[in-house]
Amino acid sequence: MPPQPPRPRLTRSRDDRLVAGVASGIAAHVGASPTLIRVAFVLLMVFNGLGALLYAVFWAVLPLAEGPPTPRRDPLRLLPFVLGGIGLIIAGSLFNSSDPGSMIAGWLIALIAIGAGIIWHQSQRASTPAASTPTTSWLSALASSRDRRMFLLRFISGAALVVAGVIGLLVVYSPGRVSIEWNDLWKAVLFALVAVAGVGLVAAPLLWRTLTALRSEREGRIREQERAELAAMVHDQVLHTLALIQRNAADASVVQRLARGQERSLRNWLYQPTGSPNEHFAAALEQAAAEIEDTYGLAVESVVVGDRPVDDRVAAVVAAAREAMVNAARHAGVRTISLYAEAEPGQLSVFVRDRGVGFDVETIEDMRHGVRGSIIGRMARHGGQAEIRSAPGEGTEVRLSVPVTVVREEASNE
């Protein structure tokens, strides 16, 4: 059996949505056309509003797909479905005219479902990273001050829909068709409101205190997390390195290597935005430099200007630069190597320089495979150039450059 591509999880779609992205989310999951699903929803409307009911339930239950911020919906695209739905309902009511009661009841149930859906609808903000602790419940949506107003609004409008639906159902299906006067209804609603307000007034201080406690507890937890992260960093790395330095105090080169490695990792931790060496040129080059530092116990003064995503050519440049650093570390007899790289829009250049013993470039034929194959050959294969400048006693500089396609700079600056 051939392996099947994994089916996307059942979510609400972000980028292709007419109302809430339910239809296209389902379509992506079952592998059908979104329009087909939409038409199905509209057709189901005829059966006492079943389509709307189902849609509301899906909307309330399905999580929003992950991805970039949602583009605005286009109301014009919704128009044909709305018109079709209205036409179907009118046609349906003509057919069903014998029993208007069940028709109305269906719609009222749909109304209640939408109201309940609005209340229980999975808040998107409630699952922000800061709140993604196991204790996250529907309460935390209430507790987070940012979307409390949103929640209140949603709650009130949802409750209004549910109440209206329930009252409507009562009116339609009241036992024995006892006619309920509108006047009585209003009075009842008024009394209910007064009762709810009274309870609210009594419970408000308690509720408020609970909310404040929840919020301060959450802030405390975040602080505690940060502290734990710092403690782990200090414990796992710094203390460990200090212990090693004490044990190797007699060996200057080991001490220096340990100190240098620790300095680098602290520095990265403090100043540099994390980037994956598999994705970013700068990170890949820094990683190569770090490996050289660790392996050969010397310092690589790296300066990288600009950045770009890693592709074949970029990877080749990084590999060639690494080889150049290895050569400098092995043969130049120096304590520091200068590494400079610049990612310009159309070109990538790397310079590896040492002030070591140098060599006569003319004798490169006798030189190791490293220079010919790993540097010059590799760069040539990827359409780039490698130039080696050196003279006995004057150090060596390897210059690598390769033309690259222009990439649009997106968020890489920030």
Partner 1 sequence: MSDRLKVFLVDDHGMFRAGVRAELGAHVDVVGEAATVAQAISLIAATEPDVVLLDVHMPDGGGRAVLEGIRKTYPQVRFLALSVSDAAEDVIGLIRAGARGYVTKTISPDDLVDAIRRVADGDAVFSPRLAGFVLDAFAARPDANVADPELDQLTNREREVLRLLARGYAYKEIAKELFISIKTVETHVSNVLRKLQMSNRYELSRWAADRRLL
Q: Which residue has the tokens 């937890």?
A: 221
Give Cβ neighbours of residue 177 (< 8 Å, ≥ 6 apart): none
* Least spacing, CB of residue 136 vs partner 1, in Å: 32
How far apart (Å, rounded) are the C-alpha atoms in residues 144 and 140?
6
* Least spacing, CB of residue 378 vs partner 1, in Å: 21
Tokens describing residue 134? 């196991």
* Smaller CB separation from partner 1, 67 or 345: 345
How far apart (Å, rounded) are the C-alpha atoms in residues 228 and 220?
12
* Smaller CB separation from partner 1, 73 or 260: 260
3-state secondary structure of 254: helix
Give Cβ neighbours of residue 187 (< 8 Å, ≥ 6 apart): none
Residues of the shown chain interacting with partner 1 in the complex, contacts defined by CB under 8 A: 267, 270-271, 299, 301, 303-306, 338, 340, 342, 351, 353, 355, 397, 409
How far apart (Å, rounded) are the C-alpha atoms in residues 261 and 50?
65
* Least spacing, CB of residue 239 vs partner 1, in Å: 20
* Smaller CB separation from partner 1, 92 or 306: 306
* Least spacing, CB of residue 301 vs partner 1, in Å: 6
* Smaller CB separation from partner 1, 323 or 397: 397
* Smaller CB separation from partner 1, 293 or 397: 397
* Smaller CB separation from partner 1, 246 or 363: 246
* Smaller CB separation from partner 1, 299 or 318: 299
* Least spacing, CB of residue 266 vs partner 1, in Å: 10
* Least spacing, CB of residue 36 vs partner 1, in Å: 43
Helix axis angle for 252-271 and 281-296, nearest 10°, is 160
* Least spacing, CB of residue 293 vs partner 1, in Å: 13
Length of the chain: 414
* DSSP classification of residue 331: I
> Radius of gyration of the chain from Cα atoms?
34
* DSSP classification of residue 74: -
* Least spacing, CB of residue 70 vs partner 1, in Å: 25
Cβ atoms 42, 88 nearer than 8 A: yes
How far apart (Å, rounded) are the C-alpha atoms in residues 73 and 136?
30
* Smaller CB separation from partner 1, 103 or 328: 328
Q: Considering Cα of 137, then 140, then 142, then 147, what sign does the dihedral take?
A: negative
Give Cβ neighbours of residue 142 (< 8 Å, ≥ 6 apart): 148, 151, 211
3-state secondary structure of 294: helix
